[in-house]
Amino acid sequence: MDVQERLDELAVLVEDAKSVPLSASCVLNRAQVLDLIEEIRQLLPESVMRADELLADREAVVQDGRREADRILERARGEADRMISEHEVYLAAVAEADALRHDSIQETARMRQETDDYIDAKLATFEITLHKTLQTVDRGRERLRSQMYEELAPVVEVDEVFDGDVR
């Protein structure tokens, strides 16, 4: 049995003891109480030693816990540093991507403007060439029409028109 059980027996013995009338005192069997106290005394050194062992074990457990906590904290700090570093790399990459996108948009707009200007210049040149070609075609057609009318209509001299004899 251990100390706690013996102390419980002693408490039961006192609780169950006969009361002295008109008093707070009680009647106990002296031998029985002294035997329990002696047993408790004998068990106490064993209990104290076990308590010391538990305290020593407790200290070892606490030290192990602290070492484990320190190791976990160190690992967490390393992971946090790594994540911060990755986040900074991510932010730098995003900033660089935004700059490249902005540059490419500007370059595309510039190239589109140059292309539009080039096409407009070529179309203007083509328009001028077409206009000149059209004028040439119109002149050629006009010559053809005038030659055709000359061949179809005989040339009447002015003297013949007044004589009334038209050939």
* Chain segment 150-164, per-residue pLDDT in tens: 777 665 565 655 555
Mean pLDDT of the region 146-152: 78
Whether the predicted pLDDT of 37 surpasses 80: yes
Residue partners of 6: CB distance under 8 A and separation at least 6: 36, 39, 40, 43
Whether the predicted pLDDT of 121 surpasses 90: yes
The DSSP annotation for 17-70 comes to: SEEPTTSS-EE--HHHHHHHHHHHHHHHHHHHHHHHHHHHHHHHHHHHHHHHHH
Answer for the pair 166, 160: CB distance below 8 angstroms, yes or no.
Answer: yes
pLDDT band at 3 (very low <50, low <70, confident <90, very high): confident
Answer for the pair 29, 36: CB distance below 8 angstroms, yes or no.
Answer: no
Whether the predicted pLDDT of 166 surpasses 60: no
Give the start-to-end residue ranges of the domains of the chain: 3-152
CA angle 98, 102, 103 (to 5 degrees): 120
- As a whole-number percent, the residues of the chain with pLDDT over 70 amount to 90
Residue partners of 2: CB distance under 8 A and separation at least 6: 43, 47
Residue 164: DSSP 8-state: T
Rg (CA), the chain: 62
pLDDT score for 126: 95
d(CA 12, CA 159): 171
d(CA 167, CA 157): 10
Whether the predicted pLDDT of 89 surpasses 70: yes
The residue among 51 and 95 whose pLDDT is bigger is 95
Q: What is the mean pLDDT of the chain?
A: 84
Whether the predicted pLDDT of 109 surpasses 80: yes
